[in-house]
Structure 1
Amino acid sequence: MSRSIALDMPILTPVGVLAHAVAKLGLVIVCVLTAATVGHAQNAGLKRAAGDGDIPVFTDTYDNAEFCADGRGTGPCAIAPVDVPEFDASFVYRFLAYHAQRPFDRFSWQAFTSLMAPLDHPDQAALWESFPTRRDLFSEVTYPNPACADDLPDGHLLLASYLQSTGDVLIDQAGNFVLFETRINPVAADYIIANNLQTPAGRADFATSGKNIDFPTGHLQADVATKVKLASADAVANDAANASGPAIPASAPGMMGAQLLKFSWRILPNADATSRDRYFTRPARISLAGDQTIDGRAKCLDVTVGLVGMHLVQRVASGNGDRWIWSSFEHIDNVPLAANARRPNSIITKQPFEDGCLVPEAVEGEFAFYGGQLPAGSPANQPISGILKWADNPPYARLASGDHPTPPDIVRCWRLFSGTAESNFVWQTKLNDSVLANYMLLGTQWIGNPGGEPFGIGEVPRFLTNSTLESFMQDQSDATCLGCHARATTDVGQNANFTFLLDPGS
């Protein structure tokens, strides 16, 4: 029988100084959310102080300057972060201490909210909607029914993909497909086009050129980055007992790096005011070929979709190996936590979930991807067997016979790191007047050590998955975003610098 331990341990560094210091950081912050929101949003098993009712009390300080990347605002803003200046390659991060993750989770939330701007006008086009899609860049990735692009109204998404990376299909409890969309920021798109990587011939020529695929890295101006690192080091070395966390720049001038985005969208069966209050929504048209529909006819379906998941991947200059930072977000109403959920740094085991991710004993509230059909203690996250086709009307997912399939019970296998749960409380409170308060950061993954067994490729935390994007592989030993993408190659076999984009046919 394999043994495992749930690690929430100090960072190990060459000198061991940072681990000792970060354990002593922190002052008090009180964040208030409703009990219902807390239950769905976190699933972290956090303990509250006796008598505090529904008010979770944490032992850290968050200055208003943390919520905008330029350090000058009082809340989330449209300015994107370009780097994590506290990320120091001279340290070897093995286990995740409480404060180690904070700069990365701050980076994730800043990046997420800047992409969703304007925050006070969710019906207006968000920043990411100006980014090209995978189908815009790669001509060989066509729409199943090209006619759906004709006369597409302004502000409508054009969606077509409904297969996860495993080839599986996810449907919600209403019996509707989840759709996926990939976007690339202009920095990454310009790099692809400048190197002719958007064509098969161009990728073949690049592979024989002797050059490596090397997406642009985001970085602060040198004087700003140095100032921040020195301030952070001084806080740890000189006043660890009273330090309020890593210093951040007063402003963040610099250069944006490559950014890759993957969205998962749920079709909202009743796009009423309640749905719009709970979800970030968009009108969308779904492009379908004849072999994807029950009646065998190509068609376009006009629907309203709500955002249920998002991977946000950004390349930064600092840190170990100039790698990518991987952030993953979900809607708080997606799924409950598995009965045997593990901490994301549970690494001393070859099989994190020997019996799969198990159905919990009791679940409060309703979830989009969990209906409680399976008995408690049984394996959840079972893919649908058989081929599903699209009907003309909701529920859209049908078996070949025309019958309605039974939606799978999906649970989240990995707990939130406690520092990430705290970050969620703080940011959700700041976003209290925005629909984005209904979203949670699952985790921020980064390369923090040289890797090797049992540390994978060096990703910290070791595991990270999204219940809407990797629904059926969460229990696998390679359930790690950066670990998986480290194997990415182009369609001609060249290392693709952590993205499968350059193998469009895969």
Structure 2
Amino acid sequence: MRTLLFSFFLLSLISISCESGKKDKKLNSRLGFSKEMADIDCGAFCDPPTVGYQLPADSTCGHSSQSVLNCFAWKNFLALNWRASDERGLPDTTAVAADYGMPGDYSPTVWESYLSADDVFAAKQPEQWNLKSKNGYIKYINEINKFTDINASLPKPKLRAMLGGNVDEIMQAKGAWLTDQSGNIVWYEIRMNSIESDFIRKNKLYSSENLNAFAAKNQGVWLPMESIEIKAAWRVIPENQLESLKNFYKISKAMVPEIKGFDKNNQPIYGKYTQKYLGLVGLHIIRKTNQSPQFTWMTFEHVNNAPTEGQVDPSVKYCFYNPKSTDKPNQSPVPGKDSLSKPVQVIRIANNAITPEIQNLNKQIRDMIKASNPKSVWQYYQLVNVQWPENPIQDGNNNKTAPLMDGGITPNNIANVTMETYIQEKQCMDCHKNASVGAQKYPTDYSFIFLKVKQAK
């Protein structure tokens, strides 16, 4: 038994040292092994997260539990936020953990090098990835909620029929936006990995005619395994605060439009684009695997976004909460009535409080990140929750019309205060099981991304 345990320890040490890039004076730290890592509960036979660029394999390590999926989420977060390489969607393998999240590093992460939804669903060929442009990588961003342009392309009755609920609540289709306590709008983007984007481009699913024909032929649009979708929320970093805030946020440069007003459909009217610095405040990661064909739904936030109801920390200056405000929390602004610069008072509802188990894991991971790079901005992010199917259903056994089966998705209290600000009582699958196209309601594999396709008149 002693020999077996020693062999297991050696194998574990070798595995960890291959993934680690830490540069510490102590041998254990240099090899990536520490007491904090040893204490991380990721379930039996599951390696703990490390600061590295390797995207983890499927989630369950032979079995499923919340602790296993919590660790799986952090592994995805750490790898996808590694510095991108010159090739779209791949990490820079020359980067080291000691530089992970260095303040003032505005270079894109792996997921930022994925194609945006706008690129994927454009009829023209997407532009080549240009990491080394003259002024550095600058993205374009133009959404003030996750579904800014849907209300203009699809009538509300059709949306209600597709989603099986109140569109205004589910989709924030009134044009609701989120304004931080500095009076700046939050901006959103949607991206997908090459497995998913190549599938869509190869089958020309950016055309409504092709999309509907493909869905009819295949009784739905079933995304390939290892598809990943990313939704990100960004706050504007005022230039006079850049030097101080760059130490606490992942910051990227982006061309952002002015909002000149709203049209008759409550869609924003955009004006001139100018370069701004954006700080990451929220990140959804959803990933389809053989063991999670209903996707694993992972959501992260900046630690100072907003307090949980009844748990305000007076020492924290929250980005979306003012302790002196008398406004009712989580109230959606109304176009034509509310000012774009009026801060929205936000709290996390008590039912969605981060569990003690996840709080403990978050602390351990943040300590691990700090051990690699004491200045890393990634130490200021936290896992909020992970949703996963306890009884996964493979595509071929699922419904051929929406709603899809949910695979025993668990837990049922998951929301990101920057992206589900006004619908925190709902959970991911409440809406996403209804994702579909056409009058026949052919399912689109829990993804609303295909609502981006312009419908033929």
TM score, norm. by length of structure 1:
0.61
Residue aligning to 2:361: 423
| Partner Cα separation in structure 1 for residue 357 and residue 181 of structure 2 | 31
* Residue ranges of structure 2 left out of the alignment (5+ in a row): 1-34, 84-96, 125-132, 147-170, 264-268, 394-404
Structure 1 residues 152 and 64: alpha-carbon distance in aligned structure 2, compared to 1, 3 A threshold: farther
> Aligned residues: percent identity?
22
| Partner Cα separation in structure 1 for residue 123 and residue 330 of structure 2 | 32
For residues 39-50 of structure 1, the aligned pairs below 5 Å read none
| Partner Cα separation in structure 2 for residue 424 and residue 460 of structure 1 | 20
Residue aligning to 1:471: 421
| Partner Cα separation in structure 2 for residue 263 and residue 361 of structure 1 | 25
Equivalent of 1:408 in 327, 335, 344: 344
Equivalent of 1:192 in 185, 197, 200: 200
Equivalent of 1:263 in 232, 235, 243: 232
Deviation at 1:207, TM superposition (A): 2.0
Residue aligning to 1:371: 322
Residue aligning to 2:60: 85
Residue aligning to 1:180: 188
For residues 3-18 of structure 1, the aligned pairs below 5 Å read none
Residue aligning to 2:330: 381
Deviation at 1:61, TM superposition (A): 7.4
| Partner Cα separation in structure 1 for residue 270 and residue 172 of structure 2 | 26
| Partner Cα separation in structure 2 for residue 472 and residue 297 of structure 1 | 24
| Partner Cα separation in structure 2 for residue 307 and residue 435 of structure 1 | 10
| Partner Cα separation in structure 2 for residue 502 and residue 74 of structure 1 | 33
The count of aligned residue pairs is 342
- Secondary structure (helix, strand or coil) at the match of 1:431 reads helix
Q: Deviations over 1:47-95 (max 9, x none)?
A: xxxxxxxxxxxxx97439999xx98998310000131133648xxxxxx
Residue aligning to 2:82: 117
For residues 286-301 of structure 1, the aligned pairs below 5 Å read 286-288=256-258, 291=261, 298-301=271-274
Structure 1 residues 61 and 284: alpha-carbon distance in aligned structure 2, compared to 1, 3 A threshold: closer
Deviation at 1:372, TM superposition (A): 2.4
Equivalent of 2:245 in 262, 275, 282: 275
Letter in 2 for 1:415: A
- Secondary structure (helix, strand or coil) at the match of 1:326 reads strand
Equivalent of 1:317 in 286, 290, 297: 290
Residue aligning to 2:67: 102
For residues 356-367 of structure 1, the aligned pairs below 5 Å read 363-367=314-318
Q: Deviations over 1:227-247 (max 9, x none)?
A: xxxxxxxxxxxxxxxxxxxxx
- Secondary structure (helix, strand or coil) at the match of 2:119 reads helix
Residue aligning to 1:95: none
| Partner Cα separation in structure 2 for residue 383 and residue 290 of structure 1 | 19
- Secondary structure (helix, strand or coil) at the match of 1:85 reads coil
Deviation at 1:287, TM superposition (A): 3.2
| Partner Cα separation in structure 1 for residue 335 and residue 57 of structure 2 | 44
Structure 1 residues 152 and 140: alpha-carbon distance in aligned structure 2, compared to 1, 3 A threshold: farther
- Secondary structure (helix, strand or coil) at the match of 2:246 reads helix
User: 1:326 touches 1:482 (CA, 8 Å); kept in 2?
Assistant: no
Higher share of residues assigned helix? 2
User: 2:294 touches 2:406 (CA, 8 Å); kept in 1?
Assistant: no
TM score, norm. by length of structure 2:
0.67
Residue aligning to 1:305: 278
Residue aligning to 2:25: none
Equivalent of 1:484 in 424, 427, 431: 431
- Secondary structure (helix, strand or coil) at the match of 1:203 reads helix
Letter in 2 for 1:284: A
User: 2:260 touches 2:271 (CA, 8 Å); kept in 1?
Assistant: yes
Q: Which runs of 4+ in 1 moved over 4 A?
A: 64-67, 70-74, 288-293
Q: Deviations over 1:450-504 (max 9, x none)?
A: 89xxx98622111200000011111x3xx11133211111356320101100111
Structure 1 residues 66 and 336: alpha-carbon distance in aligned structure 2, compared to 1, 3 A threshold: closer
| Partner Cα separation in structure 1 for residue 190 and residue 141 of structure 2 | 10
| Partner Cα separation in structure 1 for residue 356 and residue 49 of structure 2 | 24
User: 1:283 touches 1:304 (CA, 8 Å); kept in 2?
Assistant: yes
| Partner Cα separation in structure 1 for residue 37 and residue 422 of structure 2 | 36
For residues 329-348 of structure 1, the aligned pairs below 5 Å read 329-339=300-310
Residue aligning to 1:501: 449
Letter in 2 for 1:80: L
Deviation at 1:332, TM superposition (A): 0.4
